[in-house]
Each structure stands twice: as C-alpha cells, then as structure tokens.
Structure 1
Amino acid sequence: MAPIGSLLWRSLRVWQIYGANTEVGKTVLTTILCKSARDRYKNELIAYLKPVSTGPLDEADSHHLDKYAKGVAHATLHQYDLAISPHAAARGKFVPSDKSLLESIYAHAAQTAARSPGWLFIETAGGVHSPGPSGVSQAELYKPLRCPVVLIGDSKLGGISLTISAYESLRLRGYDIEAVLLLRDEQYRNWEYLTEYFKEHHGIPVYSFFPPPQREAESLELDAERMGKYYGAASQAPIIHDVLEHLDSRHKARIARLESMAHSAHGKIWYPFTQQKLLAPSSITAIDSANENFFQTLVPESTSGEPGNEPLLQPSFDGSASWWTQGLGHGNTSLTLAASYAAGRYGHVMFAEAIHEPALALAETLLHGMQNPRLTRVFYSDDGSTGVEVAVKMGLRAARVRYGWSNKENLGIIGLKGGYHGDTIGAMDCAEPSAFNENVEWYEGKGMWFDTPSVKCVKGKYIVEIPEGLRGLLKSSHPEFATLADVFDIEKREKARHHEAYEQYIEKTLHHHLSQGRKFGAVLLEPVVLGAGGMILVDPLFQRALVNVVRRSSHLFGSEGGDAISDEQSWSGLPIIFDEVFTGLYRLGRFSASSFLGIHADISVHAKLLTGGLVPLCTTLASESILRAFESNDKTEALLHGHSYTAHPIGCNVATESLRQMQAMERNGDWDWAKKGGWSKAGANETLSDSKVWSIWHTEFVGWLSNHAAVAGAWALGSVLAIHLNAPGGAGYTSNAAVNLRDMLRCNANETTEAPWNIHSRVLGNVLYMMGGQHTSEEEILELEEVLTKALSTLNL
C-alpha cells in the first residue's frame, strides 16, 4: 500500500510552485528563487524538481534553470517532447499512475532532505487545473503531498480573475498559499489590485517583479547575455530576499505550531470519552491534514530520528473512519464543492414552513433509497443523539394517542442490553445503566432491555452466544454456523423454526414486565450491530423475532388493543424505531441495515455516513401513521422540536452528493472485489450485486483472528472489523484488554516501506475495531490485515 506522506522536514523547506495559467512566468520566478537562495544560503543545498515537463529537452524548464542558476540541483521525473498539456503529450508514451508519480516525488524529496539542509522548489506544469499525465487536475493530483504553495499570478489581461480563481481552487482543496508572486505589466498593472486584494481579504503578501527582457530572435547569444544580467540583478534585489525570508519564517512557524499543539491542547481542550486526569500530551495526536483513508500525523519526538533528516509527518490509517462518519475519503473534493455551493448560494436559511432545494432533494433521495413503503416523511436535526430523541418523541406520542393514555403516563422504551443511542440526556435514558450514563446526575433509565444473543467467529465457526436466560429454551446453548451468510439466512432459519424459542422468551419477558403495570411506547433498536455498546453483532433472527412479536401484540400494550389497523403502512403493537446512525447507509454493505432483517421500520434515524464525514446532520424518517398522531388544530400538539440549523443547506447538499456517490458505487460494482471474496459466494442464479452478506475484510483473515489465543472472537461485515480480545478482568467498556494492541498499531506499525506508516485506532474496552471507507481498496485491506497479523503475533498474552 505504501501510503503517500506529506513533504515536511525540519531542515528542508519544500515549496510547490503553481501558476494561475500557462505562460505566467513560473519558470522565470522559480529560477530567481533558486538563484537567490543559492547565493543567500551558501552552505545549504538548493534543489529544483519538475515532476512533469513537456516540450523539447533543450527548452525544458530544468535546462533553463541549469543555465541561469548554476549550482542548483535539478531533476525532471517525466519529460515529454511535445509542448502541450501533459495528458496529451503522454499519449502513446509511458504514463505513470498518479500514485507512482507521488511516490517518486516523495522519494526525491526524502533523498534531498537526507543530503543536506536546504530548499526544494517543485514546479508544476501549466495552470492549477492543467491535467497531469493521467488526466487528473494537478490541483487534485498533488493534494496528498500537502506542500505549501507559492502561487505565480497572471499579469496579463484577464489575469486578475485567473489569479483569484486559481487561489480559490487551491484553497478549496486545503492548500496553504503563503505568497503570490507575479511579473509586472505596466499596461494592466495587475499587481496593484492583487496586492490590495490578497492583503485585505486573505493576509497573503504579493511580490511583483520586473519582467525579463524581450527575446531577440536574431541573436541567441545576446538573449542569453541579457537574461543572465536579468537574473543576476533580480536574484540580488531586496524583494526576493524578502520573499525567501517570509517563506523561511512560514516554514519554521508551521513546524513550531505542529510541535506545540499537543501541549497547548492538553491545557485548553476538554476531550470527549477521555479521562483528562490520565491524559498526557504524549497521548495526543497532532493531525496536520488528511486525505482519502489517512491522516498525516506528527511523528513523536522519540521516533523522529536525526534532527532535520527524518520526516516530521507520517501517514496514519484512520482506523475509526473518523468516528464512524467518513466513507468517501478525507478531503473529498466533490463533497467540498457541494458544501461550497450551498454555502455560497444560501449560507443558512431558517427552515420552519420553508423549503430549499438541498433539503427537498435529500428527502427524496433518502426516501427512495430506503425502499421502505412505510416511510414518507423526513425530519431534520443535527446529530444522531438528537435524531433519536426526535424519533422517541414521535413513537411515544403515536402510542399514547392510539391507546388513549394520559400524557402523564410514565412510558418506557423496549430495547436491547448493550444498545446505546447517544449522549444527550433523553437518548441516554433509552439505554440500560452503563459506563456511559450511570454516573450522569440526571440519568433515569426509562425502559426494559432484553438480553442479547450475539454472534462471533470463534475458531473458524460462527457461534451464536446465547444469554443465560434464554439457554433453557434452546436445543443448543451456542448454535454454530459455517459462515456468516448462514447466520443471516433468516428465512431458512425460520423454516427450521429456530425463531420459536426467541419468540417464547420475548413473550414471557414482555408479560413479566407488563404484569407489573409498566407501559411501553416504542421499540428502539440498532439493527444488526450495537456500536458504542461494544461492537456487538446481534443475531439478526432475534431482532426480527422481537419486532414480529411486538407487532402482533397490540392486545398486550393497550387495554383495548388500540385502533384497528387499516393498512400495512400503519404501525401495530408499538412503533418500531431503527437507530441506523452508525449501521446505515452502506456501513454494513447495504443502503439500510434494516434490510438484513427483512423488516420495515416505522421510524428510522440516519446520520454519520449521511454526509460522508464532512458536516453534522441527522434525519429521522417516519410514516404517515406516525405523523397523524401530531395532527391537531392545537399548535401545542405539534412536534415542537428543532434547532437553529435545522436542515442547513450545506449539510443537505453534501448529504445528497454523498448518497449519490455511494449509490453510484453500488450500481457500478465498485465493491465486487469484496463480494467475490466475501462471506456469500454468488450462486449460479445470483449476481455479485445480490450477495447478501459481504465484507471488505477477507474471510481467511477473520478465520485466522478467530483462532488466535488472545482473541475471544471476531466478525466482519461491510467495512467494519471487530476483534473481541480475551479480558481476564472482565469484558466491557472499562476493560483495558485492547489498549496494548491499539498502542502497538500506533507505533510505526509498518516499517518495511520507504515511508513508514501506522494505524490510528480506537477501542471499546476489550474490543478493537477497524473500519475502512467505501473507497478503501483491496490492496489497502491486505496491507492492514498484514499489519494486524504482525501486531497480534507479537502481542504479549
């Protein structure tokens, strides 16, 4: 995999030179920078790199630089003889992949840093969006390197617009533009406007230089003499010394800020899910940038090697998919543009009794994608926890109205032990007492929670671990299955009447609680996987049995069984709420996790992957029968819930683009590689797209994990891998059983590549989980599996 590292060394100032357009003087101004740096920093190495050059070799930019800036180390990685766009010049010739081109740039920079302190100027070809050899825009192509930029402005007619547009294109992609340089044109005087503009709006200095002399076609020797004098004078001018001093100070400031961040944060930030007393600055990861599946993180001082020669940043695989939100890659430009469009068109607009296109488009996309005939309405909120609270308000009201209960009734929620739905007070009350909530002063658990049959791969077999209260009802206390697909073949298991013991247990437990006078207003479940509760893979047959029992038991919940149900879209028994905040929208391989159960929810909550990890947004989807419970001539009977940023256009537009991309990936077969090697092989009459259960993590690897002495069990589904480690002191959130493995993964997990990288992961007590994104490749997964294998093989048991 060898992920690309960002170019940052203490001793080597690396600058990328972008041009607002072609023919703006990039090479001229870069030559001045190189020549002046060579004269100013006599004991340092000054280097120039042209990754891709087009045109005859004797007219190449590196040839020009060598001619007028003697003593500057120069190199060109790929030279094409036609003076046209690189993508066109490369036709019929060797075309490096984007990854290999970036790797060669990184390798060249690393070799330069190892030789001597100094400067490296990397000059791009053409304008900001001129294509690279593969056809990808250079602004996109070079983004993973995260080089600070010197932008060469355009001094010609129209150059003001082109320069500002180039600046904005780079900023949209996360580049730091530290200076703007341009040649003076006395006719248009663009430098005057641009100097004011960049100073006033962005605080960026603009430096203008007198242009080189015009060429004299009849005398090449005279041309060379005049250019030599021009470069001699320009490289000694005070302005170029100011530029170099500014760039040098910006380089040092970047490093100083990065190296001080952890200490500063330790004294200023109150971290989530962290015992601050036990936190040390050395445990805080400073993240400089992120791209695709990787952070770029500051290398700890103890492992950074010789001062100046070793890279200060290393790639860190984002093993938690940025806390379960990221699916389309960090820095996804299409999501960035979707956010920028909505920000520029709307900013934020109030939403009560109003509509805008992003909100309507997202609602339509979600409702269609869910393929749930019950769901017809979309309610917007800000995050999963508040979205769940909205859902609970909906469900409880619907039950109260149908069964004629007083609004003073103490209604509870039916859920599962290990389930957790968020950290706001209302959402916490929907979960059993746990480390997350039992020390919260206002917590008051309002519900009942069933013991949860869970699934793990143990020694190559999929075991359904049955809670003690259920074992007496089953023929086998721990049913075994050959594959995870067999576990999820609910129809086959129902034909074998495996569900009957579950239903008997559920009915018995419900009767017990209801006989004590308790009332329940809704069922709240995380379909298939209980996330924060410890990555518990629930037996899908149990969840289906629970919903089926509740839906046919109206007589248990209301004194007269409630109103008659007139259609299949109306809820029965109790409203069924599915919390798909974590499990939905392809995290487990499907648009909706509820589809694994073959059940349509009455209310469904979606967040996290909804916006591809870019901005917070949550949607609560509901049926017409739920909506009708709030219909009244009295406004106080409405669903009086909302927040200032309800349905903010930025989030809605980003979410629509995120769903569009993932649905396109599914249609185009982008995950076929995973389905081929997954749990459910396509049969003779089944296409890969029909594969019911699959994962990006390989079957063989999960089998290996399940046989490891330190592992109590493992499972993989969609992009999620969960490793349950043995916990002699007891499993659960407070266990430290997985901490050593997590720390091993963060300590230069892979030292076999030229650019070492590690894995940034999170643990839930004795469970270490790992998530890929929807763009994660099989090559990356294989490498991650190799690193995990190595770490587990050296883990002290």
Structure 2
Amino acid sequence: MTYSQRDKQYNWHPYTQHKTAADFPAIVKGKGALLWDENGKEYIDAIASWWVNPFGHSNTFIADAIYQQLTTLEHVLFGGFTHDKAVLLAEKLMQLLPSNQKKLFYSDNGSTAVEVAIKAALQFNYNQGIKKTKIIAFEDAFHGDTFGAMASSGISFFTEAFKGSLLEVARIPVPTAGNEAKSKAALLELVKTNEYAAFLFEPLVLGAAGMVMYPPEELDELIAICNNHNVLTIADEVMTGFGKTGKTFAVDYLQNQPDMMCLSKALTGGTIPMAITTFTQSIFDGFFDDDTNKALFHGHTFTANPTGCAAALASISLLETSEMQQNIKEINESHKAFEAKIKSHPKVKTTRVLGVIFALEIKTDSEESYYGTMRNKLYNFFIQHGIILRPVGNIVYILPPYVISKEELQKVYETIVDAIEMI
C-alpha cells in the first residue's frame, strides 16, 4: 500500500469530509517552492503551504539554526525561567513592530495568539472592575478554531455546531468600496454601548474570506473610533505578517496603531509551530499588580520554545535581506502584470493585488459555497496540473513563497487561465 492509502486508515485531516474525499497525495520532499509526492510528481506550492513558508521548503539557513539550537537547548519551561533565544527574539521584534508595542506573550499557533488577545482584552477590563464581555469583528472574518477565535469568525458553517457555546460577538461590514460609511456607522453604534472590550480585525486583507481587501485609511478611522470610546483594538496579522502585504506588517500602512497584534504562520518560516501576541505597555500594566489573581493565567508547555525562537530569528533575518525584499517586489510586479491581462477576461468578475497576494473572482450564475462544486472542480484541476492552490468558493488566490522563480510563477498564472477556460 502507498502512504496515501495507508493515511486513510488512521489520520483525520483538517477541514475534510472524509466520506467524500479522495486519497491525498503523500508529499515526501520539498525544496524552494516545489514539493514532490511519493510517486515523483512535482507540485508548485503556490500558497506557501497555508501561508507559512515564505522562504521555501527545506531552507538550509533556517534548518541550520534549528540544528544548532537542538544540540544546545531544545526546550526549557518558560514558567519561572527564560532563555537567550526568547530574549533575542523579543529584542529583534521590538525593532520591527509598531513603536507602541512593548510586551510579547508566546504561544503556539494563530488561534491561540488570538485567544490570548481576547482573554487579555476581557480581563484588562475585569481587573479594573469594568464589565465588558463582548467583542466586535468583521463579517466573514476568520480568526481560528479555538473557542474565542472561532466565536470571532464570521464564516458560519465553521461555527454552526457551537452557536450556543460561544462568546458574544457583534459583526460590522468590511469597509470595502461602497461599504465605508456602513462600517463606520455600525462600529460607532456598538462602541457607544460600553459593552465591548475589543475590536478584532484582519488588517487590510481577510484571508479565508477570499483575500477580501480594504484600504488602510478606512481601518485608521475604525481604530480612531475605538480609541475615542476606550475599546481595545487587536490586529490579527497571522496571515498578513512578515512581508505578505509588501510591508513587514499590514499595520505598517496605518497611522493609528492597534493595542495588540497576533503573529504566527510565517514567524518561523514554516518550520516549527509558534505564535506571539504583542501588547502596549498600558495593557501589560493592567495586569501588573500585587494581587496575584490579576495576572494573565494562560500558557502551555511549549511556550517560547527555544528551537522555535531560533527558527524565528533565522526567518526574520532572511526577510530583512535585500534579496528577499527584492523578491517580494518582483512578485508584486508580476501579479500586477498578470492582473492587467486577466481582469478583462469575460469569465473574471474582479481582481485584486496587495504585496505577494493575488486574487480573482470568477463570474457565476449563482452564489458559490465555500466548498462547493466550482471550488472542488478548480482545486482538482490545479492538483492534476501540479499546482497547489486552494480556491475559496469561486475565488482563486495566489500567495507564493518569496523564493518562487519567475518560470514557476508563470506556470501558476497559465494554469489559472486554463482553469478558468475549463469552468
């Protein structure tokens, strides 16, 4: 039996209805933007394996940093101890983060980074004797699968089974073209009630919603509204962080900065699960007290894992190289050139580009569901042609490793055109 066949005996995959799923390709090797399965078939990883591998697979620079750390100190508990890599990573991030961010809290994935932020927002108010138990988020947002993050996500079929068990969250329209006034009015109405602890948002791009994009000027106004009404702001940069939008963080496009930020995915270059939630000094001070009960009681066994920190330090150093920054610019230019060619296609409804992110929406006669017929047909077509893309309904997006070659990227574009013609 092949690995792919043996996989079905034991493994339960994410976001998968196994009764209708086909056998999954078993990947045995990766290098750069390429992956190979057990049969030797080559795939271009055009979404950086769910947005985590900006520097490509089997990156030797990050691997060497991990090896050195594993043979020095693989792990030590962070409760009651610290270590050099956690300190060095914190110092490095402080050079890159907005100047109002002063404290870091380590966790292990994007959902828990969001969970920490939500818990901190609620307890920050509780510690002051203020009752604010609700959160504001965008419609169609996605923030993760743990309970607080899931409650804040607006993609209903992900959360339908848990409706009665979730934190109360109010949703406002995303301030895309034509919805700017509605978004601001909805937020203003909510914050005036003094019931909401925080506004949680994906800055500039809603990833799982289909790379929905909105301008920084609109987000600046929403943050200002929150600031004026003592509602904390949380930027979920799990997807957008570390160069995806063309800047290190999406919030680097803003004038008004969030109170908290959530980081993961590309943080370690796709090698070791790790996440960080960052805070302003004033939020940290809200937990700094002689009363032990006012501490933030959250953590897990692998908090600030030294090997993960070493991988993150190596990953950030790669991001800062002139070569990688040039790669990001060239991908952006390639996306814009492809957009100029494809946007007038009779089957294309809309296109959008930001940084290394490209998305197009295919015209349909009816509303296309998230995992509907068109999506599955497109996905299977891409896999058959050696391209890893995961369409969202009728939206096809590219978010490639920064090391993808021009030839590989061109093949992705050509395959998308062929897929559109096939629909």
What is the TM-score with the length of structure 2 in the denominator? 0.93
Structure 1 residues 290, 668: CA separation in 2 closer, same or farther (over 3 Å shift)? Answer: closer
- Displacement of 1:710: 2.5
Structure 1 residues 438, 665: CA separation in 2 closer, same or farther (over 3 Å shift)? Answer: farther
- Displacement of 1:622: 0.7
Helix, strand or coil: the match of 1:440?
helix
- Displacement of 1:631: 1.4
**Which of residues 200, 203, 208 in structure 2 aligns to 1:524?**
200
**Which of residues 656, 659, 662 in structure 1 aligns to 2:313?**
656
Helix, strand or coil: the match of 2:162?
coil
Is 1:289 matched up with 2:25?
no
Which residues of 2 match residues 532-571 of structure 1 at below 5 A?
A: 532-552=208-228, 554=229
Helix, strand or coil: the match of 1:723?
strand
Cα distance between partner residues in 1 of 2:323 and 2:144? 29
- Displacement of 1:506: 4.9
- Aligned AA for 2:2? S
Cα distance between partner residues in 2 of 1:363 and 1:290? 30
Encode CA deviations 1:158-184: one digit per residue, 9 max, x unaligned. xxxxxxxxxxxxxxxxxxxxxxxxxxx
- Displacement of 1:598: 2.8
Q: Is the 8 A contact 1:727 1:735 kept in 2?
A: no
Encode CA deviations 1:287-327: one digit per residue, 9 max, x unaligned. 121111011024xxxxxxxxxxxxx4121001221111011
Which residues of 2 match residues 98-113 of structure 1 at below 5 A?
A: none
- Displacement of 1:734: 4.0
- Displacement of 1:712: 2.1
Cα distance between partner residues in 2 of 1:320 and 1:782? 14
Is 1:592 matched up with 2:332?
no
- Aligned AA for 2:140? G
User: Paired residue for 2:114?
Assistant: 388
Encode CA deviations 1:37-69: one digit per residue, 9 max, x unaligned. xxxxxxxxxxxxxxxxxxxxxxxxxxxxxxxxx
Cα distance between partner residues in 1 of 2:164 and 2:363? 34
- Aligned AA for 1:344? T
User: Paired residue for 1:665?
Assistant: 322
Structure 1 residues 791, 368: CA separation in 2 closer, same or farther (over 3 Å shift)? Answer: same
- Displacement of 1:541: 2.8
Helix, strand or coil: the match of 1:763?
coil
User: Paired residue for 1:624?
Assistant: 281
Cα distance between partner residues in 1 of 2:58 and 2:268? 13
Q: Is the 8 A contact 1:742 1:761 kept in 2?
A: yes
**Which of residues 346, 364, 373 in structure 2 aligns to 1:709?**
346
Structure 1 residues 442, 359: CA separation in 2 closer, same or farther (over 3 Å shift)? Answer: farther
Helix, strand or coil: the match of 2:353?
strand
Helix, strand or coil: the match of 2:152?
coil
Helix, strand or coil: the match of 2:16?
coil
Q: Is the 8 A contact 2:173 2:183 kept in 1?
A: no
Cα distance between partner residues in 1 of 2:297 and 2:202? 25
**Which of residues 379, 395, 415 in structure 2 aligns to 1:742?**
379
User: Paired residue for 1:643?
Assistant: 300
> Which has the higher relative contact order, 1 or 2, with Cα contacts under 8 A spaced 6 or more apart?
2
**Which of residues 274, 290, 301 in structure 1 aligns to 2:16?**
274
Encode CA deviations 1:593-621: one digit per residue, 9 max, x unaligned. 11123332211111001000011000111
Which residues of 2 match residues 452-491 of structure 1 at below 5 A?
A: 452-454=174-176, 464=177, 466-467=178-179
User: Paired residue for 1:419?
Assistant: 141
The farther-off stretch of 762-771 and 330-339 is 762-771
Structure label with greater radius of gyration: 1
Helix, strand or coil: the match of 1:449?
strand
**Which of residues 89, 97, 103 in structure 2 aligns to 1:362?**
89
User: Paired residue for 1:323?
Assistant: 50
Helix, strand or coil: the match of 1:633?
coil
Q: Is the 8 A contact 2:187 2:222 kept in 1?
A: no
- Displacement of 1:399: 3.5
User: Runs of 5+ in structure 1 lacking a partner?
Assistant: 1-258, 299-311, 455-463, 471-501, 555-572, 675-694, 750-757
User: Paired residue for 1:263?
Assistant: 5
Structure 1 residues 509, 698: CA separation in 2 closer, same or farther (over 3 Å shift)? Answer: closer
Q: Which runs of 4+ in 1 moved over 3 A?
A: 399-402, 505-508, 510-515, 665-674
Encode CA deviations 1:304-352: one digit per residue, 9 max, x unaligned. xxxxxxxx41210012211110111100011111111111111210012
User: Paired residue for 1:436?
Assistant: 158
Q: Is the 8 A contact 1:588 1:717 kept in 2?
A: yes
Structure 1 residues 410, 522: CA separation in 2 closer, same or farther (over 3 Å shift)? Answer: closer
- Displacement of 1:271: 0.9
Cα distance between partner residues in 2 of 1:377 and 1:759? 40
Structure 1 residues 696, 773: CA separation in 2 closer, same or farther (over 3 Å shift)? Answer: farther
Cα distance between partner residues in 2 of 1:703 and 1:446? 43
Cα distance between partner residues in 2 of 1:341 and 1:412? 45
Which residues of 2 match residues 38-57 of structure 1 at below 5 A?
A: none
Is 1:607 matched up with 2:334?
no
- Displacement of 1:452: 1.5
Aligned pairs, number: 423
Cα distance between partner residues in 1 of 2:271 and 2:327? 22
Helix, strand or coil: the match of 1:647?
coil
Q: Is the 8 A contact 2:201 2:236 kept in 1?
A: yes
Helix, strand or coil: the match of 1:339?
helix
Q: Is the 8 A contact 2:107 2:275 kept in 1?
A: yes
User: Paired residue for 1:775?
Assistant: 403
Q: Is the 8 A contact 2:352 2:358 kept in 1?
A: yes
Encode CA deviations 1:651-671: one digit per residue, 9 max, x unaligned. 000000000111113687444
Q: Is the 8 A contact 2:52 2:269 kept in 1?
A: yes
Cα distance between partner residues in 1 of 2:67 and 2:15? 32
- Displacement of 1:276: 1.2
Q: Is the 8 A contact 1:527 1:594 kept in 2?
A: yes
What is the root-mean-square deviation of aligned Cα atoms in Å?
Answer: 2.2
Helix, strand or coil: the match of 2:303?
coil
Which residues of 2 match residues 144-183 of structure 1 at below 5 A?
A: none
Cα distance between partner residues in 1 of 2:164 and 2:311? 35
Q: Is the 8 A contact 1:432 1:445 kept in 2?
A: no
Q: Is the 8 A contact 1:415 1:447 kept in 2?
A: yes
Cα distance between partner residues in 1 of 2:333 and 2:274? 26
User: Runs of 5+ in structure 2 lacking a partner?
Assistant: none
Cα distance between partner residues in 2 of 1:640 and 1:427? 18
Encode CA deviations 1:95-114: one digit per residue, 9 max, x unaligned. xxxxxxxxxxxxxxxxxxxx
User: Paired residue for 1:509?
Assistant: 186
Structure 1 residues 286, 450: CA separation in 2 closer, same or farther (over 3 Å shift)? Answer: same
Cα distance between partner residues in 1 of 2:189 and 2:56? 49
- Displacement of 1:788: 2.3
Structure 1 residues 315, 433: CA separation in 2 closer, same or farther (over 3 Å shift)? Answer: closer
Structure 1 residues 669, 272: CA separation in 2 closer, same or farther (over 3 Å shift)? Answer: closer
Structure 1 residues 511, 539: CA separation in 2 closer, same or farther (over 3 Å shift)? Answer: closer
- Displacement of 1:765: 2.0
Percent identical residues: 28
Helix, strand or coil: the match of 1:765?
coil
The farther-off stretch of 717-726 and 649-658 is 717-726
Structure 1 residues 314, 696: CA separation in 2 closer, same or farther (over 3 Å shift)? Answer: farther
